[in-house]
Amino acid sequence: MTGATGFIGRHLVRRVQSEGAAVVALVRAIPPAASREPGVEYVVRDLERVDTLRDVFREDDVIVHAAARAHIMRDTDPDGEAAYRRANLDPTRMLCRSAVESGARRVVFMSSAKVFGEGRERPYQRTESPAPADAYARSKLEAEQVLREMGRAGGVEWTIVRPPFVYGPGGKGNFPRLVSLARIASLLPLPLASIANRRSILFVGNLVDAMVRCALHADAAGQILLPTDAHDISTPDLLRSMAKVRATRALLIPFPVGLLRSGAAIVGRAAEIERLTESLRLDSQHLREQWGWQPPVNLEEALRQSMSATPHSANAASHV
């Protein structure tokens, strides 16, 4: 597994171990003893600086590739496009080549719903043509294409997972910001009641449940999967649900969304308001119909687990 010490990776390691599978975690540096998962074998490899992983992979392995340079809201790299390709595309190409050479069984790739493009009201279908709108999403789509080429060459199966916004205990980026907004809204009215968006979201526990299926289910080979929580939700309703979990009430008042966006642009916060106001929905019916998969954790319980472990600070890097 790559990305095993990240937000999603830590949850996935624990779940995979609970299924009785052995985990080899590829890391840039061995984590401190207090942060290591018992029973995990940690192998130091910098994916941007090695030519092969053939010495690590074994025949019939399932490789979960979750490491990535995630979407950064305020990227200071002078050539962000190249930076994303170095981190997300080139290591995927090397990993796939190594998987073929070692006789691995399957590569499960953590992509992103952002490869579809920016938000819209109608849910994205997994069969739709991607239209990535930024460097991060383009690098993810290009990495997906590397996996498809590997599959066409034969020998190793692939599965691509395109999650929406992922939240949960230890999550960073947008989720702590939303938690902070919910706390503020319990004290002061916020002008967010007029936002009428719909977003697919995904609790990390539900994601790892689907990821285990991706690793083990024969029908997942050659599939693009869009796991989501059971229901899409608007930003105001999500804030209200967060407040309910905290036994408070979110004080939200109507205000024109266009003025919100204009004001945010003036103060350099346009991207953050876009995330709060736009819609981005995925159609996950294929998981329910073909696999009978249902997200095991409902929204109220997911928020309870997530908020009890979320620090009060929202100063974190943006997530997938």
Average pLDDT for residues 268-294, to the nearest whole number?
Answer: 90
**Which segments of the chain are extended strands (E)?**
24-27, 41-44, 62-65, 106-110, 157-161, 165-167, 201-203, 223-225
CA 159 to CA 109: how far, in whole Å? 6
CA 192 to CA 185: how far, in whole Å? 10
pLDDT for position 35: 87
CA 53 to CA 122: how far, in whole Å? 41
Same domain, 154 and 209: yes
pLDDT for position 272: 85
Which of 232, 164, 143, 145 is CA-nearest to residue 8?
Answer: 164
CATH code where residue 29 lies = 3.40.50.720
Give tens-digit pLDDT for 226-241. Answer: 999 999 999 999 999 9
Percentage of residues in the chain with pLDDT exceeding 90?
A: 79
Same domain, 107 and 154: yes
136 in catalytic set: yes
Same domain, 57 and 96: yes
Give tens-digit pLDDT for 67-77. Answer: 999 866 566 77
Percentage of residues in the chain with pLDDT exceeding 70?
A: 94
Same domain, 157 and 192: no
317, pLDDT greater than 60: no
Contact 167, 175 (CB under 8 A): yes
Same domain, 45 and 109: yes
- Residue 34 domain boundaries: 7-165+202-225
For residue 275, what pLDDT band results from cuts at 50, 70 and 90? confident
With respect to residue 285, please indicate whether it lies within any of the assigned structural domains: no
Same domain, 70 and 182: no
Domain count, the chain: 2
- pTM of the entire predicted model: 0.91
CA 17 to CA 37: how far, in whole Å? 10
* Catalytic residue chosen out of the listed positions 42, 84, 124, 136: 136
**Within 13 Å, how many C-alpha atoms sit on residue 46's CB side?**
4
Same domain, 148 and 267: no
312, pLDDT greater than 50: no
